[in-house]
């Protein structure tokens, strides 16, 4: 443990913890001190963790990046005569209709049936579920086509019509995995260009891509989940959303870090929900990944109450203290092999160049730091003006001590399948 972390534990003994209720009372009274994650870093550098923890009530965080595990569910209302959806398409993109009669779920990565995919590699994936969601939020008309198999109570077998977001009873953004705590830095040591969810990776480590807003990133600012849990109120897609569970692939373990680095977990995720009708296309953008697929870029911001010095310490860690694993997408990643290329700080990644195996490699982000900064500012204004209260979790999300171990999908023989 670093000296600063040891001092945090000593100082916490003499510092009374704040509560969500106390901070919300200050927000309602217009007296809460709210800063962005960048501002907290500067404040701690000037005044120290203890004084900053006493002075500041809330720090705002943000991220804006492609988040494939996103989607929306809808209720379209009933036609006359009624129909029970068996198959459904929105602007030619299939939605999942295996719910009640006129409920459906549209995934961000869903693609039109006629999309050539990667048949002519690399495919362009110009349009998918994420683009439909963006167009819904922008108020554009959406073509609905549905077929049914006909029942006594739902006799209609087909319908084609045009709808907008305002025509729907419910339209809810529900994302099973967002705001990944710490994405890897992706490189390609192989001999050919790779088209991945981390973008186009040039051969022989010709470039390196990363996708975390680092010192603004929500789950790197509360890495042990001391304040984030079910019921946490967040900025989501330009509106208000909530954390409803830990996300899929939530594995908040502590990686092997350099000796002088704070022990900050990585691998946590959020499952989030919010009213699509109150969101903005500025913060939900359909995105095409050459040679990989379609997705949705999502804006997420999480307020972190500074309940004590420990929380303040981790929330104030700068890019130089935050590290990403470097993963080779040529062989290691697709074959589920452990990464062997080490860890690198976000300060180095954001400098535009890193040194990897003796070679200078240019870097670029898939996430937008400027938009993450903008989210931090918007959330700060909402809280400072009393428009946005903190949601106290009914239960915190599991942290590294939970010991969650990732399971894998294995090829198994018929004896297991029949057992």
CB 27 within 8 A of CB 389: yes
The confidence score (pLDDT) of residue 414 equals 74
Other beta carbons within 10 Å of 248: 12
- CA nearest 229: which of 404, 399, 33? 399
Strand 208-210 to 34-36 pairing? unpaired
Closest by Cα among 275, 174, 222, 264 to 393: 222
Q: Are strands 208-210 and 229-230 parallel, antiparallel or unpaired?
A: unpaired
**pLDDT by residue (tens digit) across 217-268?**
999 999 999 999 999 999 999 999 999 999 999 999 999 999 989 999 999 9
Residue 413 banded pLDDT, cuts 50, 70, 90: confident
What's the pLDDT tens digit per position in 368-385? 999 999 999 999 999 999
Residue 366 has a CB neighbour count (10 Å cut-off) of 18
Q: What residues are annotated to the active site? A: 153
Q: How far is CA 246 from each of CA 76, 180, 251, 268, 273, rounded to the nearest angstrom? A: 29, 11, 10, 8, 12
| pLDDT tens, residue by residue, 269-322 | 999 999 999 999 999 999 999 999 999 999 999 999 999 999 999 999 999 999
pLDDT at 14: 42
pLDDT of residue 415: 67
Alpha-carbon gap, residue 398 to 201, rounded angstroms: 34
Q: How many CA atoms lie within 13 A of 307 on its CB side?
A: 14
């Amino acid at each position: 443990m670093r000296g600063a972390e040891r001092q945090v534990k000593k100082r916490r003994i003499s510092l009374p913890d704040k509560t969500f209720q106390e901070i919300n009372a200050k927000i309602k009274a217009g007296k809460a001190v709210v800063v962005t994650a960048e501002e907290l870093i500067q404040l701690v550098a000037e005044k120290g963790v203890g004084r900053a923890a006493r002075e500041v009530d809330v720090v705002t965080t943000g991220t804006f990046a492609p988040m494939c595990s996103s989607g929306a569910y809808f209720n379209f209302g009933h036609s006359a005569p009624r129909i029970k959806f068996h198959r459904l398409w929105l602007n030619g993109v299939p939605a999942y209709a295996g719910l009640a009669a006129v409920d459906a779920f549209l995934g961000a990565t869903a693609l039109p049936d006629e999309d050539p995919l990667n048949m002519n590699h690399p495919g362009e994936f110009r349009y998918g579920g994420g683009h439909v969601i963006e167009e819904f939020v922008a108020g554009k008309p959406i073509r609905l086509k549905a077929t049914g198999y006909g029942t006594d109570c739902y006799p209609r077998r087909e319908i084609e019509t045009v709808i907008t977001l305002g025509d729907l009873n419910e339209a809810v953004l529900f994302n099973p995995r967002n705001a990944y705590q710490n994405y890897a830095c992706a490189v390609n040591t192989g001999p050919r260009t790779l088209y991945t969810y981390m973008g186009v990776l040039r051969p022989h480590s010709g470039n390196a891509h990363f996708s975390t807003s680092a010192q603004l990133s929500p789950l790197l600012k509360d890495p042990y989940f001391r304040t984030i849990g079910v019921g946490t109120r967040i900025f989501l897609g330009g509106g208000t959303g909530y954390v409803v569970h830990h996300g899929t692939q939530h594995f908040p373990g502590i990686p092997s870090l350099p000796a002088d680095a704070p022990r900050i977990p990585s691998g946590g995720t959020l499952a989030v929900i919010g009213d699509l009708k109150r969101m903005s296309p500025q913060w939900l953008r359909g995105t095409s990944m050459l040679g990989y697929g379609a997705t949705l870029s999502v804006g997420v911001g999480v307020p972190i109450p500074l309940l004590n010095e420990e929380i303040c310490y981790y929330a104030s860690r700068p890019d130089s203290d935050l590290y990403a694993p470097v993963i080779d997408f040529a062989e290691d990643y697709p074959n589920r092999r452990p990464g062997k290329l080490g860890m690198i700080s976000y300060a180095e990644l954001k400098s535009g160049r890193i040194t990897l195996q003796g070679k200078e490699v240019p870097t670029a982000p898939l996430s937008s730091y400027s938009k993450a900064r903008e989210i931090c500012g918007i959330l700060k204004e909402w809280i400072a003006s009393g428009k946005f209260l903190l949601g106290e979790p009914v239960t915190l999300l599991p942290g590294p001590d939970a010991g969650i171990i990732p399971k894998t999908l294995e090829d198994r023989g018929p004896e297991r399948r029949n057992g």
